[in-house]
Amino acid sequence: MAKIYLDALIPRDDFEVSSDTVIEQFNKTTISITDLSTDSFFYPIIRKPDFQRETNEWDAQNVADFIESFIKGDLIPAIIFWRSPSGNCFVIDGAHRLSSLIAWINDDYGDGIIYNILLGAIKKARQTNIL
């Protein structure tokens, strides 16, 4: 079965990149599924460190099995985040699990709005010789 490419659902960033803009800190120890919607306050600050492997190891069955486990309330291993000084939340462990949930809640498995935005940015970068 073909693997699903979920890498674009969490933007990549460098730990060392600092921003002049500091996002207001909030104390949140858990996230809910609605926090992963593109229109939530939390989703825009999720990042994947540049050193993380691509999120493309799972096939459709792996994703479906994981989502089913989540819906049934099965034990899901923790997803580990690190909060940067600029306020971004970097996924240290659990990118496949988190990306699967993001794909499910936003109905984007590589053919939705998140990927269309990414593809548009890639095409624009190629036209301006950035890539």
Please report which confidence band the pLDDT of residue 114 belongs to, taking 50, 70 and 90 as the band edges.
confident
Closest listed residue to residue 90, CA positions, set 38, 59, 50 = 50
Q: What is the pLDDT of residues 3-58, one digit of tens each?
A: 887 888 888 888 765 555 555 555 667 889 999 998 998 999 999 998 888 888 89
Residue 90: other Cβ atoms inside 10 A? 21
Domain ranges of the chain: 7-127
Is the pLDDT higher at 80 or at 3?
Answer: 80
| Average pLDDT value for the chain | 82
**Residue 83 above 60 pLDDT?**
yes
**Which of 79, 87, 78, 5 lies closest to 42, judged by CA?**
87
Residue reference for tokens 């936003």: 106
